[in-house]
Amino acid sequence: MMKSDAEWRESLTPEQYRVLRGKGTEPAFAGAYWDHSEEGTYLCAGCGLELFASAQKFDSGTGWPSFWRPVAPDRVGIETDLSHGMRRTEVHCARCGGHLGHVFNDGPEPTGLRYCINSVSLRFEPAAARP
């Protein structure tokens, strides 16, 4: 799914555009999902791909929704991010390339990973709404 920059600007809210297309970060403890524990699936806000599930969500204390793995390894891509004087691993949607957040090595078992994701990059779908 390849959209032009103008098409992304049109289909996303300004905050979604800033984070998904501009690799921005939402403020901690401010997004819709950091404190959200309903059962269901988190889709890419850009393209609707299923990325994360409530079963792998945990409270990291960071103020961002955190998961110890995506629903499948091929749903996300990673890239080294050297911005802001840090060396981090950026995480993006494998289908539309939208920026999601970063992955760190201080997560819980069984993976030891912490996918630290912006709420604004996600759209929650409750389990009850699924066919």
Residues with catalytic function: 116
The kind and range of the H/E element at 94 are none
Backbone conformation region of residue 29, classed left if phi is above 0, alpha if psi is from -120 to 50, else beta: left
- 50 close to 75: Cβ distance less than 8 angstroms: yes
* 70 touches Fe ion by CB under 5 A: no
Our CA angle for 81, 16, 43, nearest 5°, is 85
* 46 touches Fe ion by CB under 5 A: yes
* 44 touches Fe ion by CB under 5 A: yes
Written as one letter, the residue type at 55 is: A
* 98 touches Fe ion by CB under 5 A: yes
What is the per-residue binding string for Fe ion in 6-35, x denoting contact by CB under 5 A? ------------------------------
The only residue of 19, 76, 91, 93 in contact with Fe ion, by rule CB under 5 A: 93
Q: Which residues bind Fe ion (CB under 5 A)?
A: 44, 46-47, 49, 93, 95-96, 98
